[in-house]
A and B are shown apart, each in its own frame.
Chain A
Amino acid sequence: MRAVVIGAGPIGCGFAGRLLHRSGYALTLVGRARAATQLARVGRYTVRLTDGCTAREESVDGLSVLDVAQTAEIADAIGAADLVCTAVGPRNLDAVAPLLARGLGQATRPVTVIAFENAEDAGPRLRRLVGRQLGMRRTDRHGFTGAVVGAVFAHRLLAQHPGDDLLLIGEPHSEFAVDAHALRDPLPPVEGMVAVDDFAAFYLRKLYRYSAGHATAAYLGRLKGYRYLHAAVRDGEIRHAVHAAMAEGRAGLAAAYGDRIAGDEAELGAILQRFGNAALGDTVARVGRDVARKLGHRERLVGAARLAERAGVAPTRLAEAAAAALYFGDLDGAAGGAAPPMRRVRPCHPDDVADTLRNVAGLQPGCPLARRIEAAWLRLGAGWEDGNLLLTLDRPLWAWAGAGDHTTLARAS
């Protein structure tokens, strides 16, 4: 069996590549820049799997590595593959599609394409993009699905010395869900892969519980000045808020999809435990970045809050997290560049918040959720100045985060 992974980042190598290697595939990795060069030189990499208490390492070897510029060789590899995975980020799917189309055009049998892109529509979108190049009839032979991944891979560490392995650090979970309706026979076996009939519900299950909690920890953590996510969730106030936000998300899921999808209280506790995994080295800045996308209408905070409202549950903590996101300090990556820059929002009138929520989150001014978020924004920001950090979520007491960098030491960002 042969597999190609496009994207040599944490998920491509650490998650997909490892499982494919364990499943017996001859693996071709497509990457660029230093990572690809290093992988090509050594022909292997190491994955460290840790739950924060224990750790084990696995070596992924016998690799073929191609630079993204080697388009002919990549197309040949795709054409000969049983399985192709992408892990390039949703914004880069357009760039990957021509490469996929060229390779799939050479394939003599159906190929399964799995998009590990953390986007609900990644599979159908990739199918459309490839179809434009290859024609829909030839494209329909192949399966295109997104994937809901159950593990975080936050770090990829480049080797510091020649001969050392590139190291990926992530959680030990192997399970991932794919869309059963989007696949084509024969379905290639992969360790951890579960084909589900209700893929959209599985996607939202992760988005409105895990991702909602993750984002809540990041945005409140940033507001209170923490660097690491594991530190933020050790703060009692934030821990409570994260749990409550996930519970609100779960309530909405339960009403819409039933308890099988929503899960139970114990699962939320387990997720919270995972956020405290310091071995991942995950930062508040990384988890919280791309604010505009994460405040989207169907996304982890606003989407979860809307679903909770529909279930008759007041999304107090999700709204608070969304309000905290407005203080995060970047609204880069807004769709179409429509969102005003955060600096214009933060010190200004609540009307600016309403505009931002309309532009970024698709919330009509004056709707209950927009009003809830605006109220939280006002409460969290009473007395706020640029550079402040909040001492407590309960009252407007501020420390100052802008004392500059006067240390002589290098420091993690």
Chain B
Amino acid sequence: MLMRRPEPGGHSITLDMVGLLREWGNDVDIIDLDTATDLTAVRPDHDLYVLRSVTEGTLSHAGILDALGATIVNSYPVTRVCCDKVLVTRLLQLADVPVPETFVAQRPGQLEPLLDDGPIVVKPQGGSRGRGVKVVWDADELLDLAAPDGPVLAQRYHERQGRDRKLYCIGGQLFGVKRVWPARTYAEKLGEPFTVSAELRDIADHTAAAIGTDLFGLDVVISGGRPYVVDVNPFPGFKGVPDAALRLADYIHATASATVAPADTGLKEVVS
């Protein structure tokens, strides 16, 4: 598990998942990169890597492992794509996934003409967990934005109708959770599961095909009766998905088993 070590005492679906995987006989190491690492020691010693926390550090680590032939969930290329908001948004557009009208600029000031048509949401190219995301209503606010490290993404702001829709895909299984934004309490973060509509299924399916994975999260805003995908996460927290840790462990266990020992297909049903 390539991940940040969670806060002590906090509830973590990921740690619950790790507990289940260990209970089922998997040896699970947590690689948190909290200490200096000898680069020559970074090699694929494990059957499977799970890239849970995406930071520049874990991404570089995963990149080395990928180059050396490791099996990683999500794969290094998929995670890289998801971390580049410009690239992933264009891929979603090409896959007919509804996203807000989107622009890219090298400096926030270049976005000023867009405000003539209404507010925009400005995002750093490589941000995550909502960091650096800001709704901009007028040009003065653009001046207040910190100078970005790279390009900035601007998307047309769509006023939310009701709660956001979180779509979570675990091994091709799609779960929906309604959640208020911003969520303030733990109960609000858990949200409420809902039956995924055909329209949202299509969105998730097209997203999966576009980025080449079956493990991801989508943030969907409903506005004017239409859904807009506003974020893609290669390994979200899955909060609110019933039995999320169990479902994740089931998926990861299957993936790990497949990398270790492909089973003889001639199994006999004799006992049950």
Do B257 and A281 have beta carbons less than 8 Å apart?
A: yes
- What residue in chain A is nearest B204 (Cβ atoms)? A403
Indicate if A290 sits at the interface (CB-CB under 8 A): yes
Do A391 and B193 have beta carbons less than 8 Å apart?
A: yes
Do A231 and B253 have beta carbons less than 8 Å apart?
A: yes
Q: Which of A35, A157, A392 contacts B263 (CB 8 A)?
A: A157
Do A87 and B270 have beta carbons less than 8 Å apart?
A: yes
Do A406 and B172 have beta carbons less than 8 Å apart?
A: yes
A404-B209, A406-B208, A406-B212 known; A412+B270 contact, CB < 8 A: no
Do B75 and A399 have beta carbons less than 8 Å apart?
A: no
Q: Which of B75, B201, B215, B251 contacts A400 (CB 8 A)?
A: B201
A228-B253, A398-B195 known; A411+B267 contact, CB < 8 A: no
User: What's the least CB distance linking A321 to chain B, in Å?
Assistant: 13
A35, A234, A407, A411 pick with most chain B CB within 10 angstroms: A407
Indicate if B249 sits at the interface (CB-CB under 8 A): yes
Do B212 and A400 have beta carbons less than 8 Å apart?
A: no
Do B175 and A118 have beta carbons less than 8 Å apart?
A: no
- What residue in chain A is nearest B168 (Cβ atoms)? A399
Q: Which chain B residues border A290 with CB–CB below 8 Å?
A: 269
For window 175-232 of chain B, which residues contact chain A by CB distance below 8 Å?
175-176, 193-196, 201, 204-205, 208-209, 211-215
B24, B173, B213, B272 pick with most chain A CB within 10 angstroms: B272
Q: Which of A149, A228, A235, A392 contacts B254 (CB 8 A)?
A: A228
- What residue in chain A is nearest B257 (Cβ atoms)? A412
A156-B264, A235-B246, A397-B193 known; A52+B272 contact, CB < 8 A: no
Do A412 and B247 have beta carbons less than 8 Å apart?
A: no
User: What's the least CB distance linking B257 to chain A, in Å?
Assistant: 5
Q: Which of B78, B255, B259, B261 contacts A157 (CB 8 A)?
A: B261
Indicate if A222 sits at the interface (CB-CB under 8 A): no
Give the CA-CA distance A158 to B246 in the complex, in Å. Answer: 30
Q: Which chain B residues border A406 with CB–CB below 8 Å?
A: 172, 208-209, 211-214
Indicate if B268 sits at the interface (CB-CB under 8 A): yes
Do A404 and B205 have beta carbons less than 8 Å apart?
A: yes
Q: Which of B20, B173, B193, B261 contacts A389 (CB 8 A)?
A: B173
Give the CA-CA distance A130 to B67 in the complex, in Å. Answer: 61
Do A412 and B254 have beta carbons less than 8 Å apart?
A: yes
Indicate if A163 sits at the interface (CB-CB under 8 A): no
User: What's the least CB distance linking B82 to chain A, in Å?
Assistant: 13
Do A409 and B73 have beta carbons less than 8 Å apart?
A: yes
Indicate if B169 sits at the interface (CB-CB under 8 A): yes
Do B268 and A9 have beta carbons less than 8 Å apart?
A: yes
Do B266 and A35 have beta carbons less than 8 Å apart?
A: yes
Q: Which of B195, B211, B258 contacts A411 (CB 8 A)?
A: B258
Indicate if A383 sits at the interface (CB-CB under 8 A): yes
Interface size class, chain B: 35 or more
Q: Which chain B residues border A235 with CB–CB below 8 Å?
A: 243, 246
Give the CA-CA distance A231 to B170 in the complex, in Å. Answer: 14
A152-B271, A215-B272 known; A401+B173 contact, CB < 8 A: yes
Q: Which of A52, A278, A397 contacts B195 (CB 8 A)?
A: A397
User: What's the least CB distance linking A383 to chain B, in Å?
Assistant: 7
Do A234 and B172 have beta carbons less than 8 Å apart?
A: no
Give the CA-CA distance A52 to B24 in the complex, in Å. Answer: 8
- What residue in chain A is nearest B209 (Cβ atoms)? A406
Q: Which chain A residues border B194 with CB–CB below 8 Å?
A: 397
Q: Which chain B residues border A234 with CB–CB below 8 Å?
A: 20, 246
Indicate if B171 sits at the interface (CB-CB under 8 A): yes
User: What's the least CB distance linking B55 to chain A, in Å?
Assistant: 22
- What residue in chain A is nearest B268 (Cβ atoms)? A9
A399-B175, A404-B205 known; A117+B250 contact, CB < 8 A: no
Q: Which of B172, B258, B263 contacts A405 (CB 8 A)?
A: B172
Q: Which of A228, A287, A399 contacts B176 (CB 8 A)?
A: A399
Give the CA-CA distance A391 to B246 in the complex, in Å. Answer: 13
Do A89 and B246 have beta carbons less than 8 Å apart?
A: no
- What residue in chain B is nearest A87 (Cβ atoms)? B270
Do B267 and A10 have beta carbons less than 8 Å apart?
A: yes
Indicate if B23 sits at the interface (CB-CB under 8 A): yes
- What residue in chain B is nearest A410 (Cβ atoms)? B258
21 A-B pairs with CB atoms under 8 Å apart are A9-B268, A10-B268, A35-B266, A118-B272, A149-B270, A151-B271, A153-B268, A153-B270, A155-B263, A155-B267, A156-B264, A157-B264, A225-B247, A231-B249, A399-B195, A403-B174, A403-B201, A404-B172, A405-B214, A406-B211, A410-B258
